[in-house]
């Protein structure tokens, strides 16, 4: 029987704003050629997860019928021990993406504004829009977030500011003095989210992930992930460190049992394997420099990065641009990330991979530019 009310739509219609969200387009995951394939498109670690984390994940298969611990207390305790944080101020989730989305849903409502920077992580405008809010994009200065511009963009409707530090896809970072200046300039009721997904890779004296700032503020939150240096991207695991009131609000909308038992035990083993983490950071330090130098020597412009990837800009050589370089690399088994959606139609983001992958990538780009 059809509805008697003629004005009802013929099928369910998502609420206002949902269909305005551009679908997140992940990096290419398959190459179009090449005897060997090197995936340098998603900032995954070439060292893989700690063998201890893999063993723990496997062992979790023996108890698949049991619900995991709610709120992941054993994982929060492990993070607290290793990083030096109070476990009751931590929330764990299915990737830091879940944390970013829960923060937006807890603090942004219809008509509210959320700020992110020009080349910032695209999950931010998606999370803001999904919560019913309006994403406000603020220009950067020399590919770095601009504190004055962010502060100037704050209105009465601003509820949240997302800052990736270091940022993806630029690899640039904001010195801690600037982050503190941003926090000090924001109204006290605006949540400042410091997304420190790449913090473990950064080796700069003027960088801090934001722990001290969170500890001494009521409106600053730091998010972290197990997807990058810890090599657990497939397990989906991230966390946030925040003031008690924000932790409480996020926990109220967090789905119960959101983190799987396998992810919990893998995360504990991963974060406790400090040698593995140090080895991954060391490998990155060495190859970030080598890759930057090699690509610069090819005549390409590389934005100075402190993370585990580089943003490589392609001048318009003979009309060939980043898209052609991407195809050329893909035919040779090297998968990289196009970043047009981030405002860089003429650039590619390339993850620091294994020595072999990096060498294959450099050789392919040398062939592309004819050197």
Rounded to a whole number of angstroms, the minimum distance from the CB of residue 95 to ligand PLP is: 2
Rounded to a whole number of angstroms, the minimum distance from the CB of residue 24 to ligand PLP is: 11
CA angle 317, 323, 325 (to 5 degrees): 60
**Where does residue 154 rank: exposed (0-12), middle (13-18), buried (19+ CB within 10 A)?**
middle
Gap between the Cα atoms of 68 and 355, Å rounded? 38
| Residue from 173, 223, 222 nearest 202 by CA | 173
Q: Which two tokens stand for residue 350?
A: 């390339």
The gap from C-alpha 6 to its chain's centroid, in whole angstroms, comes to 46
DSSP H helical ranges for the chain: 51-59, 73-79, 96-107, 123-130, 147-153, 176-185, 211-215, 244-253, 261-272, 274-297, 322-331, 355-369
List 238, 242, 243, 333, residue binding ligand PLP (CB under 6 A): 238
List 121, 173, 201, 230, residue binding ligand PLP (CB under 6 A): 121
Name the residue whose CB lies closest to ligand PLP: 95
- Tally of residues, the chain: 371
Rounded to a whole number of angstroms, the minimum distance from the CB of residue 202 to ligand PLP is: 13
Nearer to ligand PLP, 224 or 276 (CB): 224
Contact between 133 and 109 under an 8 Å Cβ cutoff? The reply is yes
Nearer to ligand PLP, 116 or 368 (CB): 116
Rounded to a whole number of angstroms, the minimum distance from the CB of residue 132 to ligand PLP is: 22
Nearer to ligand PLP, 154 or 233 (CB): 233
List 41, 129, 225, 358, residue binding ligand PLP (CB under 6 A): 225
Q: Does 97 bind ligand PLP (CB under 6 A)?
A: yes
For ligand PLP, which stretch binds (CB under 6 A), given 46-54, 135-143, 206-214, 227-235? 227-235
- Could you say which residues in the range 162-181 bind ligand PLP, by CB under 6 A? 164, 168
x/- binding map, residues 38-67, to ligand PLP, per CB under 6 A? -----x------------------------
Q: Does 197 bind ligand PLP (CB under 6 A)?
A: yes
Residue 226: helix, strand or coil by DSSP?
A: coil
List 45, 50, 96, 277, residue binding ligand PLP (CB under 6 A): 96
Nearer to ligand PLP, 164 or 339 (CB): 164
Residue 93: helix, strand or coil by DSSP?
A: strand
**Where does residue 366 rank: exposed (0-12), middle (13-18), buried (19+ CB within 10 A)?**
middle
Gap between the Cα atoms of 237 and 327, Å rounded? 32
For ligand PLP, which stretch binds (CB under 6 A), given 8-16, 222-230, 292-300, 322-330? 222-230
Contact between 195 and 121 under an 8 Å Cβ cutoff? The reply is yes
For ligand PLP, which stretch binds (CB under 6 A), given 223-231, 240-248, 270-278, 313-321? 223-231
Summarize as ranges the residues that interact with ligand PLP (CB under 6 A).
43, 95-97, 121, 164, 168, 195, 197, 225, 227-228, 233, 238
């Amino acid at each position: 029987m059809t509805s008697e009310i003629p004005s009802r739509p013929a099928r369910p219609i998502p609420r206002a704003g949902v269909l305005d969200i551009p679908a997140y387009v992940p990096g290419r995951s398959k190459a179009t050629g090449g005897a060997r394939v090197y995936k340098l498109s998603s900032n995954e670690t070439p060292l893989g997860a700690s063998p201890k984390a893999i063993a723990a994940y496997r062992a979790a298969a023996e108890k698949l019928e049991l619900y995991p611990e709610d709120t992941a207390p054993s994982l929060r305790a492990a993070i607290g021990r290793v990083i030096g944080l109070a476990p009751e101020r931590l929330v764990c989730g299915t990737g830091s993406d879940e944390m970013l989305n829960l923060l937006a849903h807890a603090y942004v409502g219809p008509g509210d504004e959320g700020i992110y920077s020009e080349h910032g992580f695209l999950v931010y405008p998606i999370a803001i829009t999904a919560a019913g809010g309006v994403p406000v994009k603020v220009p950067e200065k020399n590919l770095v977030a601009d504190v004055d511009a962010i502060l100037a963009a704050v209105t009465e409707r601003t509820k949240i500011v997302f800052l990736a530090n270091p940022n993806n896809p630029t690899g640039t970072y904001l010195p801690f003095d600037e982050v503190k200046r941003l926090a000090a300039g924001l109204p006290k009721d605006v949540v400042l989210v410091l997304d420190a997904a790449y913090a473990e890779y950064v080796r700069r004296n003027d960088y801090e992930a934001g722990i001290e700032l969170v500890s001494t503020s009521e409106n600053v939150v730091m998010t972290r992930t197990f997807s990058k240096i810890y090599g657990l991207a497939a397990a989906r695991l991230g966390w946030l460190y925040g003031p008690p009131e924000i932790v409480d609000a996020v926990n109220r909308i967090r789905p119960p049992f959101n983190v799987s038992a396998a992810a919990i035990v893998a995360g504990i083993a991963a974060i406790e394997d400090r040698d593995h983490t140090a080895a991954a950071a060391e490998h990155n330090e060495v190859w970030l420099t080598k890759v930057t130098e090699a690509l610069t020597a090819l005549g390409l412009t590389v934005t100075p990065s402190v993370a585990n990837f580089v943003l490589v800009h392609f001048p318009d050589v003979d009309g060939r641009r980043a898209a052609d370089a991407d195809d050329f690399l893909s035919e040779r088994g090297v998968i990289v990330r196009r970043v047009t959606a981030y405002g860089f139609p003429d650039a590619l983001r390339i993850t620091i991979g294994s020595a072999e992958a990096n060498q294959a990538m450099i050789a392919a780009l040398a062939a592309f530019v004819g050197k």
